[in-house]
Chains A and B, each alone.
Chain A
Amino acid sequence: MTALHTPTPAPARGNPDPAPRRVGFTQRLSRWDVKLAPYLYISPFFILFALVGAFPLVYTAYVSVHEWNLLGGQGEFVGLQNFTDVLGQAIFWKSVGNTFSIFVLSAAPQLALAITIAAVLDQNLRAATFWRMGVLVPYVVAPVAVSLIFGRMFADQYGLINAILGGIGLDPVGWHSDRFASHVAIATIVNFRWTGYNALILLAAMQAVPRELYEAAVIDGAGRLRQFFSVTVPQIRATMVFVVITATIGGMQIFDEVRMYDPIGLGGPSRNWMTTVLYLYDVAWGNQKNFGRAAAVAWLLFLLIVCIGLINFYLTSRISAADGDRSAVSRRRTQALIAQAQAKARAGSQAEAPTAPLPTHPATPPDEGPPDQAPPSPGRTTRSTTDSEDGGRG
């Protein structure tokens, strides 16, 4: 009934409309409903974040300046003692070195392989979904299981890899005794699980490259390899940056793989493959049971990840900027051309919903944001929703 007096205000508009003369109870209730609902809706996430996300991170700083043990609990305030202790330990530095080494050994080949697989998948395949699922199988195997299996295959004696090496006349490699070899083996474990996953992300980006660009390249006489390097790679650069950055954040926190690489799980006899997170675990729950020091390790690692992230970010944006000028088809130019064409098409025919481009017109550029937008940009999300829908049937 109240609705007859004054029409219900449209909820999604920001400016409060002038107060109606007579406000019924239902109406007032509805007002509060509209005002409070958004905060109610976002509150579960933020409460949870405060409890299990923000509080632990901040409290880590508090723990790190106290003497604190797993059994004894909180002790005295010790200032930066825990930090100096950790920085003075050779094993800490060794773990940082190991982390970097494993990270570099995994990130580079993984990206190269993922791009290759994505390029192979980015064709008019029969049973496309089958092949895509095929490369994703390793992703559903738990990292601990993968690590145990590969730990056996990389066994120093009677391991499969050494048997193959012996078969082609090479000396066996000490995958569990040599430091570098163990890093290669562990990087292989990481790559096994993540390459297919990243290939699918890159494939999604590749499918959003406007097919017209390839047609133009063919007319210009470009071969398939040239098409790949001059059209595909520049077009998917933003996604590559994104993959590299997520690989960095993950790569700095490798734990499962090294924990299960041998039965003892503490990085080998001379801590040859102990990563920093494993070191953190060992300090807190292993031999020392020293939470104060472990918290210091956590903070140092946190700073390290932030630093690497910034360097990474700087380098990749520099590289993409430099490449962008050189490459035959730069993203900005493509975008401009597409915008022109779109405007023309829109003027000509009935306007089409901008939010959901039809797959027949892959007009929205793959990633609308500049390459510095690491998380998937709005353009990417909407674009590939439609994209993968058709891909699944293709």
Chain B
Amino acid sequence: MSSVPVTAQTAGKAAARAATRRRNRGSRATRAAQRRPGWVTYALLGIALLISIFPLYYTLLLGSSTQQEVSQNAVPQWLPDLSLFDRFATVINASQINFWKALMNSVIISVTASLAVVLFSTLAGFAFAKLRFAWRRGLLVFVIATMAVPTQLGVIPLYILMTDLDWVGKLQAVIVPAMLCPFGVFWMTQYLSSALPFELIEAARVDGASMLRTFRSVALPAAAPAAAMLFLFWFVMQWTMFFWPSIVLNSQNPTLPLVVQSLQGQYFTDYSLVMAGIFLVTFPLLVIFAIVGKQLVAGIMTGAVKG
């Protein structure tokens, strides 16, 4: 068995690091044999990068100008200036916007939902990949089939349900539906079926570990890399979610995307302020992306699906 997580389990962390290094050395050698691309490639990529970040830069430009300038000039200036921070302060202090509360709510919703998705998916994935039970195949096919169902279309009964529970306007109305992620179950099943050898589970059982202990001490550590990617993926998904929160929450108890909506509602004539607010709302996720973007890229390239 040569997968790195397995090495980490059987031979310790240092051995796993060594295995990763060994594994990459080969690929680097082949890659070095490939020729380096020329400047045209980098020029094209540069253009793609510029297009990617220009809209955000544009919010800074408009945010640095006054309402008057924005309404008369498409590009009022080419560089942002310090007046941007006045706009930020206005947005943060505006009584109708609830910026800090929205930030807190977004963090609570995204973290809770993602943790739940990771836990439930790992549990189910472990069972589907490594345990034998009646209806295993049928249930797994069912999970995969649900991935194609647009559950978004069930919003009306979901809203009726939330009204009956008296959850409308409360965070749990967003968190509980966000804990459902059929893709996560599929993803962890795939990963664990290859990353966790039966021998390890059997060894744990022979040592007298209960099923719960087996899950916690054998399956969970082996699932960690895939679990981290699933967490990131779902975190971004929930952080940017708008449709359902806009129905079930309100501007007194918003998430960050709802703040964008209130901004437009409150200040739609003052685009300078709206744009500054948009940057402010986007900024937290940009910071997170700068730190863990590499893992997010890896996760998407490992076969993530947009939901």
Contact = CB atoms under 8 A, between A and B. Distances in A.
Given A376-B303, A390-B24, A140 B286 contact: yes
A91 interface: no
Contacts of B161: 55-56
A134 B55 contact: no
Contacts of A150: 55
B305 A375 contact: yes
Contact of A355 (B147, B194, B236): B194
B23 A390 contact: yes
Contacts of A23: none
B27 A33 contact: no
A115 to B, nearest CB: 13
Interface residues of A, number: 126
B155 A298 contact: yes
A260 B261 contact: yes
Contact of A144 (B29, B210, B261): B261
Nearest to B208: A3
A121 to B, nearest CB: 7
A38 B225 CA distance: 22
B230 to A, nearest CB: 12
B190 A42 contact: no
B306 A250 contact: yes
A146 B55 contact: yes
A123 B149 contact: no
A39 B126 CA distance: 11
Interface string A298-310: 1101100100010
Interface string A250-273: 101101100110010100000000
Given A12-B130, A200-B297, A381-B187, A34 B37 contact: no
Given A159-B74, A381-B187, A256 B242 contact: yes
Interface stretch (A225-233, A277-285, A324-332, A335-343): A277-285
A105 interface: no
B24 A56 contact: no
B180 A48 contact: yes
A175 interface: no
Given A12-B131, A124-B35, A204-B302, A148 B157 contact: no
Nearest to A295: B156
A293 to B, nearest CB: 10
A139 B236 contact: yes
Contacts of B152: 253, 277
Nearest to B300: A200
B77 interface: no
A52 B256 contact: no
A381 B302 CA distance: 6
A194 B157 CA distance: 30
B148 A249 contact: yes
B153 A201 contact: no
Interface string A346-384: 000000110110111000000000000011101011101
B144 A375 contact: yes
B289 A133 contact: yes
A389 interface: yes
Contacts of B126: 41
B18 interface: no
Given A135-B49, A160-B74, A263-B265, A197 B156 contact: no
A62 B120 CA distance: 30
A307 to B, nearest CB: 13
A158 B271 CA distance: 12
Contact of B301 (A145, A256, A302, A387): A387
A108 interface: no
Contact of A388 (B70, B153, B297): B297
B177 interface: yes
A51 to B, nearest CB: 8
B202 A120 contact: no
B78 interface: no
13 contacts: A11-B202, A12-B201, A41-B126, A42-B127, A52-B177, A124-B32, A134-B52, A140-B240, A144-B242, A152-B62, A196-B48, A285-B247, A302-B150
Given A38-B132, A59-B154, 9 more contacts: A53-B180, A55-B154, A60-B153, A123-B41, A133-B294, A263-B264, A309-B148, A358-B26, A394-B27
